[in-house]
Amino acid sequence: MDKKKSVKFIAIIGIALLIILLLVIPKLKEDEPAPGEVAGARKINPVVTVNAMVVRPAKLTSLFLTSGSLISNEETELRSEITGRVTEINFVEGSFVKKGTLLVKLNDAELQAQYTKNKLKKELAEDREYRERMLYERNASTKEIYDVAVNELNSIKAEMEFIQAQIVKTEIRAPFDGRVGLRNISVGSYISPTTVIATFQDSDPIKLDFSVPQKYKEYVRKGMNVRFKTPSSGRTYNASVYAIEPRIDANSRTLRVRAVSPNTGGELVAGGFVEVEISLSGLDRSLAVPTQSVTQDIKGEKIFIYKGGKAVPIQVKTGIRTDTEIQIISGIGEGDTIITSGIIQLRPGARVKIAELKH
């Protein structure tokens, strides 16, 4: 009898424990944190306090630094068009000369003799042409005889013009106002068209060549000012862009630009290396946002905008940058409210509260 009571008592205790477990376990599951959720956290998303600003158009300017090279305004190598012996050198190395100045003279004695000879022949041919013309006009001679005299005269004139042209080629003159370099010849030297007599250049004004990345192409234009300095002096100079290459270099993906700068004192020397500073001015109505408001994800750059009390991520395309701002080319528009702080705490659709709103 006592044994039966014990079994019954144990059964009652077991049933009671089972009922308790069935009531308690669901409650425990409700209190368990979700996967990835901090223990004790609430299922309701917390509100993130942030700062925000309303996007308005503004003028954005950024500085881009690159390297460049100085080149002469005009530059050439002085050479002779013909072969001959040098009889005169009429310049001082490194000196400035005006256009047309005689720099080098070659021996032209033989050409002068030929010219004199043909000059005498021309006088005789002119006399003959005159006599034959008078006879022809009086019907005392034929047209054929007169034409022979005319052709002979014209032939001599042509020969004289050719000789005169050859004589001119014995004179090497300055092609423009400029400075003569170091000479490679002496009086008595026998030179040919392959001989470089000296370099010749005009460096006032001086030109500046540099390149900018393809993405900055739209910000570079004719007439814009750039600044540059030489590593040796550290002095800053101004230049004005006057020409832009019409195509992008396929290898470097850069655009070649050429500017011009005054060089009256001759301080700047062609071939020199310079550091170029370019002001990349955006449009007067560019959309600019604080640098920290733009973040990266696998799709590219994005911004969180405030919409309906929540943070909404928007993919954007950016342009020029400064230390504090970034130009937004597409993705958001004027009047949008963007979140500028607390970005690291935000998730798509997170509830947010604006503590400070800038307009």
Task: Give the mean pLDDT of 176-192.
Answer: 94
Confidence of residue 1 (pLDDT cuts 50, 70, 90): very low
Sequence-distant (6+) residues with CB within 8 A of 12 are none
Sequence-distant (6+) residues with CB within 8 A of 311 are 48, 50, 304, 305, 339, 346, 347, 348, 349, 350, 351, 352
Question: What is the tens place of the pLDDT at every residue in 83-95?
Answer: 999 999 999 999 9
Whether the pLDDT of residue 138 is over 50: the answer is yes
**48-60+285-358 adopts what CATH topology?**
2.40.420
Structure tokens at 319: 């342009």
- Of residues 98 and 64, more confidence is placed in 98
- Of residues 83 and 279, more confidence is placed in 83
- Of residues 40 and 240, more confidence is placed in 240
Tell me how far apart the alpha carbons of residues 319 and 77 are, in angstroms, rounded to a whole number: 45
What's the pLDDT score for residue 175? 95
Find out if CATH 2.40.30.170 is the number for domain 64-73+203-281. Answer: yes
Find out if CATH 1.10.287 is the number for domain 108-169. Answer: yes
- Residues of the chain with pLDDT > 90: what percent? 51
Question: What is the tens place of the pLDDT at every residue in 16-71?
Answer: 666 666 665 555 454 555 454 444 444 456 888 989 999 888 777 777 889 999 99
- Of residues 14 and 359, more confidence is placed in 359
> Which range has the top average pLDDT, 6-10, 123-127, 326-330?
123-127
What pTM value is reported for the model? 0.64
Q: Which CB contacts under 8 angstroms, 24+ apart, belong to 102-105?
A: 102/171, 102/172, 102/173, 103/78, 103/172, 103/173, 103/174, 103/180, 103/197, 104/78, 104/80, 104/171, 104/172, 104/185, 104/197, 105/170, 105/171, 105/172
What's the pLDDT score for residue 69? 95
Decide: 342 and 333 in contact? Cβ < 8 Å.
no
